[in-house]
Amino acid sequence: MKQACLSVLLLLCSSILFAQEFTLSGKVTDDAGNAVPFATVYIRNTTKGTSANSEGGYSLNLKAGEYNVQYKAVGYRQESRSVNLQANQTINVVLKAEQYELKEVSVRSGGEDPAYAIIRNAIKKRKTYLNEVNAYTCEVYIKGLQRLLSAPKKFLGFDVQKFARENGLDSNRKGIIYLSESQSRYSFMRPDKVHEEMISSKVSGSNKAFSFNRASDMQVNFYESIQNWEGISNRPVISPIADNALSYYKYKLIGATIENGETINKIQVTPRNDNNPCFSGYIYILEDSWRLQSLSLYITKKANINFVDTLRIDQQFVPVTGKVWMPSSLKFEFTGGLFGFKLGGYFISLYKDYEIDLKLDKKQFTEVLRITKGINKKDSTYWSRQRPIPLTEEELVDYKKKEALATKRESKAYLDSLDRENNKLDLLKLTIGGYRHRNRYKHEYFNLNSLISAVQYNTVEGLALSYGGSFTKQIDSINNKYLNVYGNVRYGFSNKLLNANAGVSFPVGSFSLNIAGGSTVTDLNNWEPISPFLNSVYTLFNRQNFEKLYQKQFASIGLSKRIYGGWQASAGVEWANRKWLSNTTDYSFFHPKDHEFTSNNPLVPDADVPLFPDNQSFKVSFRTTYDFSNAYETYPTGRRYLPSKYPTIGISFTRALKNIIGSDADYNLISADISKEDIPMGYYGKTSFYVGAGKFFEAKNINYTDYRHFSGNQVLFYQAGISKFLLLDYYRFSTGDKYLEAHLEHNFSGLFTNKIPLIRKLKLQEIIDVNYLTTPALKNYTELGFGFQTNLGLRLMYGTSFNNDVVKANHAIRIGVSF
């Protein structure tokens, strides 16, 4: 009995011992005593491991037992330690530079380097390794840090010194401006389905924010021929083992070494042309299997990347099974600057606990990302236990210091004081940018438009003042829903017309409801293709009154809803009284030769005769769109649906009903459209298109204001967009019959301009436009446009048009903005 009790006691103690976790920690240095930043520490034959921090310190929590621990870093010889972990242990490791020996090969004078044969083998195996895993799941830890390295004291009136002081930076405006950590469970299924559930999140300086870190954003696969890095590079970056990599890279075999019984070839890669979107650095390829073992690459501003001067990428792989290798760590490190600000930082991700080729349900991938409430509330005890990369002393101080700042900044007293400061009325700001009154604690916002935007001039109203504002309040913080009230008052000093309108929008269950009414003076073309500001400039300075206006008194109700996923629908009812307006002034600052004002009737420019009689309409309209995707992200505030990689189709129907509240209009209009922007075309840029068609039927009574209008352009400056024309008249070719329009735009993303010295520094993107329109009155009108666009969206275009019957061939320069 005693022996039995003793056995049970020993078994119990043993179970407790082996269930307990201990910490293996230490520091990784080189043979000169310098820290080896972000060295990887892994348990052999597993995917369990960690990374050292930027100072070489590491920490790994393990259950009691015997382990073979491997320490490695790119460019260093791997070190192993056998550890019997029964208590917390400290093991410091010195890594020596790896010695890569060249094989004895015979190379003729002028012959190619032996690296090329290795690269050709790697390219042949590229698709095999790209497709070898059909599905997997893993745990991902991501840490991000961004540091302000230098900054001016003030920038465009903004007090940078004050901002630095309030955000925990030092007196020289230097220090950590972003520090965050996150843990996620990541799932992947071929060809491109992903699901990520964030388990925990921590952001220095905020108790409410969620980390920007996303495992899906950190997915870099060099078995893909190109890497699409929107924002960082206008052009896709080419992998050193892409199918066409030999045309873009030069290779040199540095040597080979043996690690864990595998021969690893170290190959230096350099771009054949420094201005191509290519990497420099080293890739490490396993002999015989020809797969990537690790890589250390960088790309610089010579390749015309944006915002950063240098971007470094380090990636390591570990065997998950005998044949399959998966990423174990990935690090992006960057430096860059703009307008006197200098930034530096890194994002590092660690992967563990892989499960590969398991059966996953396709339905789970409809949700791409899940962030639930409370994951950012984990305490310091949780993070000290779960954090795989130890914090440096600077990071510990940053968390502690900014935790106090966060508590202060999120208090009612602080938010009220901040609002009092920011809510002070500044006449200059009101004039240029408008006024915004905030109550952050109550989530209430009151906005007034800028005074400059209120002043307009046109030949119908003369000097016109049009001023508006809005009030917004969050009424549902769980689902992020708002009440919005808005209004506008307009007065024309020449025609002495006062107009006012207002509206309110708010959620009703899962619907959004908008109610509006009043009177306004508005463009005959409902696209409003020329802005009031531009029309004012052309009218006053060049004696050209392009904008044509009418008065509209109206009442409307609109209802919209997301039916399911990418399927959305809306419906609206509007009653309107439309009144023709004539010119009441012919004043302009200048009177250029051959420039005379035209009437407010675009179809009879020489005579101020009414375009239509005063009339009323009662319209019921419906529209539905579908983008072939139900993918969404879940946040504590609700779902955010993601754009589809497929085109969006839309169908619209309008019915004007006669004899309802005096309505004269009587017609039907049905239309359909299909569109998609920024379709990736690999190295050759991206394409956008829009095609729309429609027809009026049973049109017993229809006025010009009910016609199908088009977004034309007749001036130097225009708002660029996929459904815009470069040279089409604003009003002449609107139709009350049938129409077909099509627009195609291709952006070559610097494919040609990057090859031209000096020009490449401008980072210009080549644009080609083709626009087409046909109606019964205007058959086969076609425009061709060629030009360039900057990263800021400013574009310069040359356009020419063709039509043999109605419109003379035209050509002109256009300057546009595209956001």
pLDDT, tens digit, 9 for 90 and up, residues 334-381: 998 878 888 899 999 999 999 998 888 888 899 999 998 888 888 888
Question: With bands split at pLDDT 50, 70 and 90, how would you rate the model's confidence at 104?
Answer: low
Per the prediction, the chain carries an average pLDDT of: 89
Q: Which two tokens stand for residue 780?
A: 């086969």
Same domain, 123 and 229: yes
Confidence of residue 109 (pLDDT cuts 50, 70, 90): low
Q: Pick the last residue of a domain from 95, 127, 157.
A: 95
Q: What is the pLDDT of residue 211?
A: 64
The yes-or-no verdict on residue 105 having pLDDT over 60 is: no
Domain span at residue 61 reads 22-95
**Residue range 439-471, pLDDT digits in tens:** 877 889 999 999 999 999 999 999 999 999 999
Q: CATH no. for residue 42?
A: 2.60.40.1120
Residue that finishes a domain, picked among 387, 409, 431:
409
For residues 67 and 141, state if they share a domain: no
- Residue 12, pLDDT above cutoff 50: no
78 shares a domain with 192: no
| Residue 94: predicted pLDDT | 94
Give the model's pLDDT for residue 2: 38
- For 471-486, write each residue's pLDDT tens digit: 999 988 777 789 999 9
3-state DSSP assignment of residue 406: helix
CA distances from 388 to 34, 53, 61, 229, 593 (A): 21, 9, 8, 28, 76
Please check whether residue 371 is in contact with residue 213, taking contact to mean a CB–CB distance below 8 angstroms: no
Q: Which amino acid type is present at position 763?
A: K
Same domain? For 298 and 366 the reply is yes
pLDDT at 157 over 80: no
Give residue 207's pLDDT: 61
Task: Answer whether 348's CB lies under 8 Å from 330's CB.
Answer: yes
Average of pLDDT values for 614-643?
A: 92
One domain for residues 45 and 136 = no
Are 164 and 274 members of one domain? yes
Q: 173 and 304: one domain?
A: yes
646 pLDDT exceeds 80? yes
Domain assignment of residue 340, yes or no: yes
| Residue 756 forms part of a structural domain | no
Three-state secondary structure string covering 688-712? EEEEEEEEEEEEEECCHHHCECCCC
Helix 393-409 and helix 412-422, axial crossing angle in degrees, nearest 10: 80
> Does 427 map to a domain?
no
Domain annotation covers residue 804: no
Assigned domain for 586 exists? no
Query: Which pLDDT score, from 0 to 100, does residue 305 have?
Result: 84
The Cα–Cα gap between 791 and 795 comes to 9
Spatial separation of the C-alpha atoms in residues 351 and 141, rounded to whole Å: 7
Final residue in a domain of this structure, among 409, 425, 445: 409
Domain assignment present for residue 426? The answer is: no
Strands 341-356 and 226-227: what pairing?
unpaired
pLDDT for res 419: 76
Is residue 237 assigned to a domain? Answer: yes
Identify the pLDDT of residue 767.
96
Same domain, 219 and 75: no
What phi and psi values does residue 396 have, to the nearest 5 degrees? -60, -45
Q: Check whether 1 has a pLDDT greater than 70.
A: no
- The residue that leads in pLDDT, 739 or 360, is 739
Regarding whether 204 and 123 lie in a shared domain, the answer is: yes
Answer yes or no: do 230 and 305 share one domain. yes
Neighbours of 52 (CB within 10 A): 25
Do 90 and 121 share a structural domain? no
Average pLDDT over residues 658-670: 95
Q: What is the number of structural domains in the chain?
A: 2
pLDDT, mean of residues 705-726: 94
End-to-end CA distance of the chain: 82
Chain centroid to CA 544: 39
Q: Are residues 65 and 191 in the same domain?
A: no
